[in-house]
Amino acid sequence: MSDPVTVTVVTHPVAAEALTHLRDEQTSNQIFRTEMRRLSLVVVAEATRGLPTAPRQVRTPLATTDGVTLASRPVLVPILRAGLGMLPAAMELLPDADIAVVGVQRDEETHAPSEYVAKLPTRLDGRTCLVLDPMLATGGSLAHGCRLLADRGAAQPITVACVLAAPEGISHLRASGMRLHIVTAAVDSHLNERAFIVPGLGDAGDRQFGPPH
């Protein structure tokens, strides 16, 4: 039986350089946000490689030629709050996309996900959804967000765009029973005792937006 969860690791020099800046503890919040957008452009471009298209003819200044248009309007789903950093790049590549948001926070003691907001269409039957979350650590938040989409009928496999992933998070998603495609810039070594990715880049939300309090 085929694996319900596939993983694509983006290999591109621009992505590798941007990720290096994100990992550097000396990178300021301002530069971190810039590099997050830069890396997200490459990751989201790869994550949307399989989007269906429809033929369209256009007239150039010289002749008529064949082109394409996206066959459907995808739904971008950032997982708050860190996923907001990937949203500008995704919107730039998919300007006609709809946007839904899911807010899931992790209990720092139990590491269990807790939903605090979910602004989603009632039904997503057959729609292509792209989930944006920089860090696939334990997998709890992403599994929760993807389950909300699957329960509303989103087309599977649901694509998840990440900056970093941990093996433990990938395993958790494999155990969820959902069909998912994970696109990430790197799969790191492991999670530490605080469920942070190692070597990682720290807390992606805090490094983009500052500490919450």
- Return the active site residues: 106, 110, 203, 206
- The b-or-e profile of 7-18 (16+ CB within 10 A means b, else e) is beebeeeebeeb
* Whether 181 contacts 6, CB under 8 Å: yes
Helix (H) or strand (E) holding 66: strand 64-70
Look at strands 53-59 and 64-70 and give their pairing.
Answer: antiparallel
Which residues make Cβ contacts (< 8 Å) with residue 61, sequence separation at least 6?
A: none
d(CA 15, CA 38): 8
Q: Which two tokens stand for residue 85?
A: 């950093």
Give the gyration radius of the chain's Cα atoms. Answer: 17
- 167-174 and 140-151 are packed helices; what angle lies between their axes, rounded to 10 degrees? 30
Look at residue 16 and give its three-state secondary structure: helix
Rounded to 10 degrees, the C-alpha dihedral 33/36/42/45 comes to -80
